[in-house]
Amino acid sequence: MIPTKILIALTKGRILEETLPLFEAAGVVPNEDIRQSRKLLFTTNLENVDMIVIRGADVPTYVEFGSADLGVVGKDFILEYGCEGFYEPLDLQIAKCRIMTASPLSDTVLSGRVKVATKFPNIAKRYFASKGKQIELVKLNGALELAPSLGLADAIVDIVDTGKTLQANGLEPKELIADISSRVIVNKASMKIKNTIISEILEKLREAVKAL
pLDDT in tens, 55-64: 999 999 999 9
DSSP state of 44: B
Range of 14's domain?
A: 6-95+181-210
Domain harbouring 109, CATH code: 3.40.190.10
Total domains present in the chain: 2
Q: At residue 111, does pLDDT exceed 90?
A: no
Ranges of beta strands (E only) in 97-195 are: 97-104, 114-118, 135-139, 155-160, 171-180, 182-187
Claim to verify: residue 192 and residue 174 sit in the same structural domain:
no
Q: Are residues 108 and 136 in the same domain?
A: yes
Does one domain contain both 188 and 90? yes
Question: Is there a domain that residue 23 lies in?
Answer: yes
42 within a domain of the structure (yes/no):
yes
Pair 127, 79: CB distance under 8 Å: no
Give the pLDDT confidence score for residue 1 in this predicted structure: 46
Do 12 and 30 belong together in one domain?
yes
pLDDT reading at 2 higher than 60? no
Q: Could you tell me the CA-to-CA distances from 155 to 85, 189, 204 in Å, in that order?
A: 31, 41, 42
Residue 207 has pLDDT above 70, yes or no: yes
pLDDT in tens, 118-169: 999 999 999 999 999 889 999 999 899 999 999 999 999 999 988 888 999 9
Residue 3: its pLDDT value, please?
A: 58
Q: Same domain for 88 and 13?
A: yes
Separation between Cα atoms, residue 88 and residue 187, nearest integer Å: 9
